[in-house]
Structure formats: C-alpha cells, structure tokens
Structure 1
Amino acid sequence: MDNWWTNAIWSLTPTVLIGLFFWMVLRLILRADRTERKVFQRVEDEERAKAGLPVRKDT
C-alpha cells in the first residue's frame, strides 16, 4: 500500500505544479492588463483635458 501512495503522489505532482504555474502566469497577465488599462485611461483623460475635450464617462 505504501508504494501505491508514493506512485500516486509522484503521478499527480507534475500536473499540480504545471496547473499552479499556469494559474500564476494567467493571473499575472490579467493583472498587468487591468493595470495597463487604468494607466492608459488616466493618460487619455489628462490628454483630453489638455485639449479641452470632455472626459469619457464609460468606466
């Protein structure tokens, strides 16, 4: 029985690690995109204010 549990753990470990890595990369990409959109919106609002245009309200 001890050998069965060892084999089960060794079989699942790579799948779990790859899954965690994929989740972390996807989370980092989504957070970076969200931050980039906020910064871009702030810059666009500043540029529109300099040009005398109304600030967009669609957030």
Structure 2
Amino acid sequence: MIENWWLNALWSVTPTIIIGALFGLIIYAALNADRKARLERGRVEAEERARFAAERTAKTQHPESKADDTATEPNRN
C-alpha cells in the first residue's frame, strides 16, 4: 500500500515539474534574446554616433563643403 502512495505522489508531481522546467526555459530564452538585442542595438547606435560625430567634425573643419552642399540644392523659390 505504501509503495502505491509514493508512486502516486511521484506521478502527481511530475507534470508540475515538467511544466515548471518548460516555463523556466522559455523565460531564459526570452531574457537571453532581449539581452542580445540590447547589445546589438547599443553597438549599432555607437557606430551611428561615431559616424555623425565624424561628419560633424568634417563639416566644422571644412566649412567650404557646406557651401558646396547648398549650391547643389534646387532653387525653392
């Protein structure tokens, strides 16, 4: 009789353990994906900031390039 009790207890707890493990894996995967996306976004934003800073520096060092840019714009009058 006691052997059946332990077997029933094991069968009763098994689905809860399996569902808990699946839930943990799903949460882990979601957090890991979010972390990787944030790292990638930070890397891309850093590259963009560096590119914009380089363009801004180039324009301040060579102000004649700005005059060239305005000469190529169409007349809006």
2:35 maps to what in 1?
A: 34
Aligned pairs, number = 53
1:13-24 to 2 correspondences below 5 Å = 13-24=14-25
User: Is it true that 1:10 corresponds to 2:24 in the alignment?
Assistant: no
Structure with bigger RCO (C-alpha 8 Å, 6+ apart): 1
Identity of aligned residues (%): 47
Letter in 2 for 1:12: V
Indicate the SS of the match to 1:52.
helix
Alpha-carbon RMSD: 1.1
Structure (1/2) with the larger helix percentage: 2
CA shift, 1:47, in A, is 0.7
Indicate the SS of the match to 1:33.
helix
Gaps of 5+ in 2: 55-77
CA shift, 1:11, in A, is 0.2
Letter in 1 for 2:16: T
TM-score, structure 1 as length reference: 0.86
Provide the rounded CA distance (Å) in 2 between the counterparts of 1:24 and 1:48: 36
Runs of 4+ in structure 1 displaced over 6 angstroms?
Answer: none
- The structure with the larger Rg is 2
